[in-house]
Amino acid sequence: MQKFLSYALAIFFIFSCQVENVPETALKRYIDYRLSNNQNREDMLSMVSGQLKASLLEQSDEELAKIIAETQQQRLSKFKILFKTCDDTIGECNITYIIAYDTYQNDKKEFSVEVKKIATMALDAGIWKVADVKNLKTNIDNKSSL
């Protein structure tokens, strides 16, 4: 009995630690990566498809380096999915969400930004990827005087 329980617990932990292949998880992983300090074109390309992938491939190394440098000053403070609509026949989902982040300069908070967005997620070879992202509404709160 004790051996069975040990095996059951081991199997439970193995399967519970695996990443879920759902659009929401893929979107959150992409957002976390985009606000990390270890970004590069190859990793980004593995997370995107469609219009977003085409746009990323068109950017020069200098343009991409500038965008990456800007996001490295941002720290995620909120991520909330509002709703999701999916069309399983074409393997596509639209996720409306809110992301909030603080922008820092010299370790001092300069701005708080909250953006309502809609992401189009596409199933690509059995893996959910971000195909497009559109901003719907942006609120910026300046933390210092102008």
Q: Pairing relation of β-strands 74-87 and 108-124?
A: unpaired
* Whether the predicted pLDDT of 1 surpasses 80: no
Q: What is the CA radius of gyration of the chain?
A: 19
Q: What is the pLDDT of residue 20?
A: 77
pLDDT-derived band at 137, boundaries 50, 70, 90: very high
User: What residue spans define the domains of the chain?
Assistant: 21-142
Band of the pLDDT at 6, cuts 50, 70, 90?
low
Amino acid at position 77, single letter: S
Average pLDDT over residues 46-56: 94
Between the alpha carbon of residue 143 and those of residues 79, 104, 107, the distances in Å are: 21, 10, 13
User: What CATH topology corresponds to 21-142?
Assistant: Nuclear Transport Factor 2; Chain: A, (3.10.450)
Q: Which amino acid is at 2?
A: Q
pLDDT of res. 7: 52
Residues with Cβ within 8 Å of 41's Cβ and at least 6 positions away in sequence, in order, are 56, 61, 64
